[in-house]
Copies of this chain bind each other. A is one copy, B any other.
Amino acid sequence: MRCEILSTGDELRSGSIVDTNAPYIAKRLEESGMFISRHTCVGDSEDELIDILKEISKRADIAIVTGGLGPTNDDITSKAASFVSETDLVFNEEAYETVKRFFKSRNVEISETNKKQAYLPQGSDVIPNKIGTAPGFICKVSDCSFFFLPGVPFEMKKMLKEFVIPKISEMNGDDKIFNKIESVTLFNLPESKAGEILSPIEANYKYVRVGLRAKFPELQIKLYGTGEIENEVINEVEKAKREVLEIASDWVVSEDGLSLAEELGKLLVNRSETVAIAESCTGGLISSTLTDISGSSDFFLFSGVTYSNDAKMKVLNVSEDTLIKYGAVDVETAKEMAEGARKAAGATYGISTSGIAGPTGGTEDKPVGTVCIGISSESETKGFKIIYKSNFRKINKMIFAAKALDLLRRYILKLNMN
């Protein structure tokens, strides 16, 4: 089975944006036991698109194509597919139903141009798109099955997971191999170092491959088990997982591949405890990350994003003396912020961040990348100061936020906090 990926769109071709769809698809398909031979990217030129579709149809068995399914004039994928498959572009009732259903769910009037999205090469199978307007489709050219998907990442991902991968596994048929994947989430361990300490594991197993997936600033260790005998695969994956948990114990955040925020949320809910946050340099990122979790209102009470000293004093009750004596970025200030947030919200725990995310604002004493974190409970309030080396604002915000969440997790579990 030869499998290829094709990304289309002028913004990808010209380098205006980086193509993250192709590597995402490659990774998911490889996890499902496929081997990806090649990715190609072309722009919105019909000739170029027809050429590459023809080329792929001659050498591949399966191809995943993204982009160009929208309703506008530069969306030419269906037309090119119909040309290459030598079929007419016909109105597909099933595709139109999915488009209509989407608009209805949004209470929006469907427009004439959206009707264009229901024209597919004759004989295509529809791949339903539940969260966007462009239906996908499967279209066979020579011996190659082309899976056409929209280029919008979250639509593509959902369709890939719910439809394309199961369909490809089904096509694989008797070649069936059993797959079992386990994930462990780590934090605070560089990817290269993780690769080093985990590299000996693979040699101990016949059916297990160890993969690293960066979900910055977290790191997922993936254990991919693949083989013909279900039991053996499961046993080996479980054994390898125990080995990972032991070797990487200092950095393990979740034994089930949950994110740091999800794991902390679970921990708080299980203990019927709550948290309040005081954010300066993370600017709301900690609370936004926590509130991405459905049901977060069970454990998240309040976050005060206090950029100004005035807000720190007024909302979080930080004393003016502390701000004058130590400044806004200091362990003492962070401690008062955490305590203030906890008390203001009546939460079990308070956490705070105050630091310099950059790219400007650093000093010799407190360079860009400096963060002070406070952790407060009813019995005590602790402060921490860490200096990271990045100069990038968004990256620093992400590291600072993760570090604060991890410190609270460690505090609750009475783990080492250094």
Q: Which residues of B contact A279 (CB under 8 A)?
A: 284, 287
Q: Which residues of B contact A302 (CB under 8 A)?
A: 304-308, 311, 315
Copies in the complex: 2
Whether the Cβ atoms of B10 and A17 lie closer than 8 Å is no
User: A285 at the A/B interface (Cβ < 8 Å)?
Assistant: yes
Whether the Cβ atoms of B40 and A40 lie closer than 8 Å is yes
Chain B residue at smallest Cβ distance from A301: B308
Chain-B contact segment, one of A77-85, A106-114, A265-273: A106-114
Whether the Cβ atoms of A30 and B42 lie closer than 8 Å is no
Whether the Cβ atoms of A22 and B36 lie closer than 8 Å is no
Chain B residue at smallest Cβ distance from A298: B307
Among B296, B306, B358, contact of A283 (Cβ-Cβ < 8 Å): B296
Whether the Cβ atoms of B74 and A211 lie closer than 8 Å is yes
Nearest chain B CB to A336's CB is how many angstroms away?
Answer: 16
Q: In the complex, A112 Cα to B210 Cα: how many Å?
A: 20
Task: Using C-beta atoms within 8 Å of the partner chain, give the interface range for chain A.
Answer: 35 or more
Whether the Cβ atoms of B284 and A288 lie closer than 8 Å is yes
Whether the Cβ atoms of A131 and B392 lie closer than 8 Å is yes
Q: Which residues of B contact A36 (CB under 8 A)?
A: 13-15
Contacting B at CB under 8 A, from A17-66, are 17-20, 22-28, 30, 36-45, 48, 52, 55
User: A166 at the A/B interface (Cβ < 8 Å)?
Assistant: no
Whether the Cβ atoms of A42 and B48 lie closer than 8 Å is no
Among B38, B290, B358, contact of A42 (Cβ-Cβ < 8 Å): B38
Q: Which residues of B contact A344 (CB under 8 A)?
A: 311, 314-315
Whether the Cβ atoms of B13 and A359 lie closer than 8 Å is no
Chain-B contact segment, one of A119-127, A185-193, A318-326: A185-193
User: A414 at the A/B interface (Cβ < 8 Å)?
Assistant: no
With A152-B214, A305-B302 known as contacts, the answer to whether A199 contacts B72 (CB < 8 A) is yes
With A195-B73, A288-B288, A310-B301 known as contacts, the answer to whether A16 contacts B211 (CB < 8 A) is yes
Whether the Cβ atoms of B294 and A284 lie closer than 8 Å is no
Nearest chain B CB to A134's CB is how many angstroms away?
Answer: 9
Chain B residue at smallest Cβ distance from A193: B111
Q: In the complex, A300 Cα to B283 Cα: how many Å?
A: 10
User: A248 at the A/B interface (Cβ < 8 Å)?
Assistant: no
Chain B residue at smallest Cβ distance from A105: B389
Contacting B at CB under 8 A, from A113-159, are 113-114, 131, 133, 152, 154
Whether the Cβ atoms of A108 and B195 lie closer than 8 Å is no
Contacting B at CB under 8 A, from A338-378, are 344-346, 357-360
User: A170 at the A/B interface (Cβ < 8 Å)?
Assistant: no
Other 11 A-B pairs with CB < 8 A, given A38-B42, A106-B390, A285-B291: A11-B222, A13-B38, A22-B41, A38-B40, A74-B209, A74-B211, A111-B193, A113-B193, A279-B287, A288-B397, A291-B305
12 contacts between A and B (CB under 8 A): A18-B20, A40-B40, A71-B192, A107-B387, A111-B192, A113-B193, A282-B291, A283-B290, A283-B292, A291-B305, A300-B307, A302-B315
